[in-house]
Amino acid sequence: MDLASFIGIISGVGLIVAAIVLGGDVHNFWNVQGIMIVLGGTVAATLLTFQFKDVLNAFKSAYFVFTSPKQDPQELINTMIKLGTISRRKGLLSLADVKTNSPFLKRVCTLIADAADEETLRSAMRTEIESMQMRHFIVQDVFRKMALYAPSFGMLGTLIGLIQMLSMLATPETLGPAMAVALLTTFYGSLLSTAIFLPIAGKLRSRTMAEVMNFEIIFQGAVSILQDNNPLSVYEKLSSFVPAKKRKPMQPVKERLK
């Protein structure tokens, strides 16, 4: 898990729990019926809005984003410089033997080795980037919709509780506890929306932006390889994607990329 996510989860949930514990009895904030209304309603509405596979992919993506580290753009720049150097020394066909965990980079190397021209490469890579953004948008939208549905079902649960409370007006001593239970569903809905669903959607969006930038680095590096730019020119072009304070000096290429 990346540090920012860990700090966010611990501080957010911890402070809320601490406030509840310090404020009184924790059992006052537990209501099974309210949880059933909010969670069940939110999940049901989400499944009605999206396909089941999209919802499943959204939760898988959220787990991946929160547990996997981000790829360092500087390392990716060094990789593209290595590829450029290899292609200048041994020819473009040698890029077909490059082994990498990135499907996008592997496809770029394959296209270059297959003698694809610059226009073909640009078209294929732009389509790949746009398709990735669309897939990620659906994943983000799942959590945005859940953040919208949760408070609505919380309010619905509160209305149900108020109706039940008003039916007990003949016994005034029960109105206070009944009102507290009615308000709990609103609390559950707001908590899920504000502390879980919206932050996850935001984290997914930031990861998408970072991945788009990495794809752009690969894309611009591939164009530079086709144009037979020298390594220093490639470094200067790709380093523009990295903030000036975080840029590292160009490293000499010592070995072939594996």
Q: Do 117 and 173 fall within a single domain?
A: yes
* Co-location of 11 and 113 in the same domain: no
The boundaries of the domain holding residue 26 are: 1-30
Residues 7 and 104 in one domain: no
* Residue 256 included in any domain: no
9 part of a folded domain: yes
Question: Is there a single domain that holds both residue 126 and residue 26?
Answer: no
* Domain assignment present for 253: no
The tens-digit pLDDT sequence of the chain (258 residues) is 567 777 887 888 788 888 888 877 777 788 888 899 999 999 999 999 999 999 999 999 888 877 777 778 888 888 888 888 888 888 888 888 888 888 888 888 888 888 888 888 888 888 989 999 999 999 999 999 999 999 999 999 899 888 888 877 777 777 777 777 788 899 999 999 998 899 999 999 988 998 999 999 998 888 888 887 788 888 888 888 888 777 777 766 554 454
For residues 14 and 53, membership in a common domain is answered with no
What does the DSSP assignment read for the chain?
--HHHHHHHHHHHHHHHHHHHHHS-GGGG--HHHHHHHHHHHHHHHHHHS-HHHHHHHHHHHHHHHHSPPPPHHHHHHHHHHHHHHHHHH-GGGGGG---S-HHHHHHHHHHHTT--HHHHHHHHHHHHHHHHHHHHHHHHHHHHHHHHHHHHHHHHHHHHHHHHHTTTT-GGGHHHHHHHHHHHHHHHHHHIIIIIHHHHHHHHHHHHHHHHHHHHHHHHHHHHHTT--HHHHHHHHGGGS-GGG--PPPPP-S---
Report the domain count for the chain: 2
Q: Are 77 and 12 part of one and the same domain?
A: no
Considering the domain architecture, whether residues 25 and 101 belong to the same structural domain is answered as no
Report whether 184 contacts 31 (CB < 8 A): yes
| Inside any domain, residue 255 | no
**Is 170 found in the same domain as 65?**
yes
Do 124 and 7 belong together in one domain? Answer: no
Q: Is residue 252 part of a domain?
A: no
From the list 74, 37, 51, 5, the residue with the least C-alpha distance to 192 is 37
Q: Do 8 and 98 sit in the same domain of this protein?
A: no
Domain assignment present for 238: yes
Please indicate, yes or no, whether residues 189 and 142 belong to a single structural domain of this protein: yes
Do 151 and 178 share a structural domain? yes
pTM: 0.83
